[in-house]
Structures are given as C-alpha cells and as structure tokens.
Amino acid sequence: MNQKRKETGKRSPGLLQKTRTLLMENQEEKSRKQDGTESGLYCHRCANTDPAYFGKDHGLYYCRKCLDFGRLPAGVPVTPARLSQRVWKGSPVLEFELTPLQKKASRQALEVLQSGRDALIFAAAGAGKTEITLESICWALSLGKKVGFAISRRQVVVEIAGRLKKNFPELSVIAVCEGFTEITDADLIVCTTHQLYRYAGCFDLLILDELDAFPYAGNEVLENIAAASCRGNRLMLSATPDEKSLQQVKEGRMEIIELFSRPHGKPLCVPQIVYGPALILFVRSLLVLFRLVRQENRQVLYYVPRKRDGAKVRAILSLFFPTGWISSSSSNKDEIMDAFRSGKTRVLVCTTLLERGITVPSVQVMVYLADHSVFTMASLIQIFGRVGRSMKDPHGLGICYCRKKSREVQRCVDQLNWMNESAAGA
C-alpha cells in the first residue's frame, strides 16, 4: 500500500515538461497581448523588449536588464506596493517668505499639474526649486494623493528629506536610500531614483529632482522604473536640463517654467579661469586657500577630477588646514559632511559626488584641473551653484584651474552669464 502511494505521487518527466512548455507559451502570449512586440517578451518594470536581455530558466523568461532589482518574469506586471493614503489640508512652514518670482513659478507649476500635464522647472542652482514645489505638494495632499520626491544621489535625498520635515512638521517624512530602507511608507516619501522600483504605480505626483544627474540621466532602466512608479503627473526640477527633457518641451509634452533669480537677487557666481601647468596651478590654489581660510575664515570645497588626485591633495592640504576628503568610495560620508557643515574641517576635497544638492552657507569653490573630461558644462554649473546661496552672504568666489582651454568650462561661463542676464531682465 505504501509503495503504491509513493508511485502515484511521482510526476512523470513528460508531464513536467508539458507544464513548463505551457507556462512559457502562456507567458509569451500574455506579453504579446500586453505589449504587441514581435518577440512577445516585455518587462513591466523597465519596459525592456530586447530579446538579448531576457534570460530563460526552466522554460520561463525573465528580464536581465533590471535583474539588480530582483528577478521579474517576462509579461508579469509588478504588484503595486500598498501605501497609506491621507488627506491633509495645510500649509508649509517657511523660514523665509517666497519672493514674487518664486510665487509666480510655484503658481505656474501648480496650474500645469492641475491641467493634467507634466511640468519642468528650469531654475538656477539656489533659486529655490524645492520651495517652488511646496504648493503643488500641498495641493496633491489635500486631494489624498500620494507624493514621491526622487533624487539621484543619496546625500541629496537625506538633505531634502530633512528640509521637508521642517516644511511639514505635521507630516511623516522619510528618506529611502542606502542605509534607510527599514521604513518605506510615509506621508511624504523622499528616495533615490534606484529605490523607485519599490513603488510601481504608487505616486499621483512624482517630483523628480536633478533629472540630468548621474546615475539617472541616460539610464533607460532607471528612467522607465521612474515612469512606472508614477500613475499621475511628474514635476521635473533641474538647473541643467538635458536634451531629452527640452525635446519633450518642444514637442508640447511638458510645460517649462524658468527661474534664474535667487531669493537675494544677487547674480550667480561666474567662475574665474586660471591657466598654467598642473604644479603651478596647485601652488596658486594653495596661496588662495591661505587667504580664504586663514585670513577670511572661509570654508572651501576643493573639487578634483579623480579619486587618486583627491587623496594626494588632501594629504598636502592637511599640513596647513583641517581638511576632509570625500568620494563615492568613502564609507563614512555622513560623518565627513557633518564635520564640514559644523566647521570642524575648513577645506573639503571632493569629487563630482558633491556637485549637486549640497548647501553650505558662505562656501567658496575651487575646481582643480577643471579642463579634465569629467567636468562637463552641466557639472560645472552645478558646482559653482554651491557659491553665494546664503541670504546673509550672497557673494562668493569660484575659480577654475585649467591646464588648457576647455570648451566645457567656457560653455559653463557663457551659460551662467546668460542666466544672470535673463534674471536681470525678468
């Protein structure tokens, strides 16, 4: 009797193969119906349709293009996360009242979203892009909509979440990024663009900051994951919008709002350009540092193109000033930034990791070997956007140290001059 039971419980190889074949055919047919692609393979997370980026396991296809976010079978929709919904009708707490130009931009953005369209806020670094979004956030929350705020870089996520907590003390605000993934739901969710994979079809309003920044810009997987997370409209923010976004504006698929004036009304920092051999440039930068740090008691962000440059520069500068060093490889980024913000370190040597989203009052900026290919027009505009952001100290110094003439450096200078001219004529 026991032997008979064991035998009846076995699956024949033929039946197992037939089952796998049937599942595979159903999977491909489902993909074909939903997407209409010739191959019939479609990823609902990253929108991949390239057969070369699909793997096959036990007869079933899965997407390899977004495998870093977990295996997802082809044609299978991503299950939306279950998030809380809350109707909140209130106003943000502001440290300073918005300027007339900021209020105008804020109202324009809200009107575009209310019409059911996406908006792009093209604003100078330090013009108050985050503050301009607050009215739209309040409108969305008053209707019980879910709001997400996505940014490419972890450091900026933490900073923006901190600022929004002050703007909305009555709401729960969380940062979802490396080191902060235990809690993934709140009234306001601020996350890296990588973490948007958690929120498929969740956001009625997705605010996407610095859409031209690495690693989001040009990354089809992240762009499609972001698109899949938004079931409503998007509010895009950038001081240096990419060609793709500007093309969408030209095609009428997105409305652009421009703001190049900072709240204090002073011009943006346009960097000086100093030419010479690398060693001479370093010595000249050291002399300027002595004046800024020792005589004027200033803090300085000292940008270098490569990690190996940063380690050497930090070793030398540490002989004269309290100096920090940060790059993508730094394991204690938060501690390094806290030391700089508190003034314990006077000079912070850094890579383009800190080109965006970092606000330190009265900071001065130097870019060593600014003619290196890592420094693009967009990154340089962001870097010098760190200068002169303070209402109490709206002026500052920015210097590009170049071994040779650089098209990107000159484009940065030209663009900043154009922004200043546009702001003056507004």
Give the pLDDT confidence score for residue 214 in this predicted structure.
78
Mean of the pLDDT values across residues 296-313? 96
For residue 97, pLDDT beyond 70: yes
Give the pLDDT confidence score for residue 26 in this predicted structure.
54
User: Can you tell me whether residue 87 is helix, strand or coil?
Assistant: coil
| Element counts in the chain: helices (H) and strands (E) | 12, 15
Give the pLDDT confidence score for residue 199 in this predicted structure.
96
More confident residue, 35 or 277: 277
Cβ contacts of 367 within 8 Å, gap of 6 or more:
271, 303, 375, 380, 383, 398, 399, 400, 401
List the one residue out of 144, 139, 117, 128 whose CA is nearest residue 235: 117
Give the pLDDT band of residue 370 (cuts 50, 70, 90). Answer: very high
More confident residue, 33 or 137: 137
Mean of the pLDDT values across residues 94-122? 95
> What is the per-residue pLDDT across 48-84, written as a single tens digit (0 to 9) for each?
999 999 999 988 999 999 999 999 999 999 988 889 9
Distance from C-alpha of 141 to C-alpha of 135, rounded to nearest angstrom: 10
> What is the per-residue pLDDT across 372-425, written as a single tens digit (0 to 9) for each?
999 999 999 999 999 999 888 899 999 999 999 999 999 999 999 999 999 988
Mean of the pLDDT values across residues 247-265? 93
For residue 18, pLDDT beyond 60: no
Give the pLDDT band of residue 272 (cuts 50, 70, 90). Answer: very high
Mean of the pLDDT values across residues 232-250? 91
For residue 19, pLDDT beyond 90: no
Q: Kindly state the DSSP code that residue 36 receives in the 8-state scheme.
A: -
Give the pLDDT confidence score for residue 14 in this predicted structure.
54
Q: Kindly state the DSSP code that residue 45 receives in the 8-state scheme.
A: T
Beta strand 54-57 with 60-63: parallel, antiparallel or unpaired? antiparallel
Beta strand 272-275 with 254-259: parallel, antiparallel or unpaired? unpaired
Distance from C-alpha of 266 to C-alpha of 387, rounded to nearest angstrom: 11
Least confident interval from 35-39, 211-215, 257-261: 35-39
User: Can you tell me whether residue 344 is helix, strand or coil?
Assistant: coil
> What is the per-residue pLDDT across 305-339, written as a single tens digit (0 to 9) for each?
999 999 999 999 999 999 999 998 998 988 999 99
Across the chain, what does the average pLDDT equal?
Answer: 90
Q: Residue type at 28? A: E
Give the pLDDT confidence score for residue 111 in this predicted structure.
97
Give the pLDDT band of residue 207 (cuts 50, 70, 90). Answer: very high
> What is the per-residue pLDDT across 193-206, written as a single tens digit (0 to 9) for each?
999 999 999 999 99
Please give the model's pTM, rounded to 2 decimal places.
0.83
- CB-side exposure of 66: number of CA atoms within 13 Å? 29
Give the pLDDT confidence score for residue 359 in this predicted structure.
84
Distance from C-alpha of 15 to C-alpha of 22, rounded to nearest angstrom: 10
Cβ contacts of 44 within 8 Å, gap of 6 or more:
34, 72, 75, 76, 77, 78, 200, 228
CATH topology identical between 100-259 and 272-424: yes
Sign of the alpha-carbon torsion through 316, 317, 319, 322: negative
Helix (H) or strand (E) holding 5: helix 2-9
Write down the domain spans for the chain: 12-69, 100-259, 272-424
Domain 272-424 is classified in which CATH homologous superfamily?
P-loop containing nucleotide triphosphate hydrolases (3.40.50.300)
- Expressed in angstroms, the distance from the first to the final Cα of the chain is 92
Least confident interval from 27-36, 46-55, 109-118: 27-36
For residue 31, pLDDT beyond 70: no
Give the pLDDT confidence score for residue 24 in this predicted structure.
53
Give the pLDDT confidence score for residue 69 in this predicted structure.
93
> Which CATH architecture best describes the domain 100-259?
3-Layer(aba) Sandwich (3.40)
Beta strand 188-192 with 60-63: parallel, antiparallel or unpaired? unpaired
Cβ contacts of 384 within 8 Å, gap of 6 or more:
125, 268, 269, 270, 271, 365, 398, 412, 416
Give the pLDDT confidence score for residue 96 in this predicted structure.
87
More confident residue, 184 or 80: 184
Give the pLDDT confidence score for residue 154 in this predicted structure.
87
Cβ contacts of 82 within 8 Å, gap of 6 or more:
none
The answer to whether the beta carbons of residues 408 and 265 sit under 8 Å apart is no
Give the pLDDT confidence score for residue 1 in this predicted structure.
44
Sign of the alpha-carbon torsion through 135, 137, 140, 143: negative
For residue 8, pLDDT beyond 80: no
Measuring CA to CA, how many Å separate 318 from each of 210, 301, 313, 321? 33, 14, 8, 5
Give the pLDDT confidence score for residue 11 in this predicted structure.
45
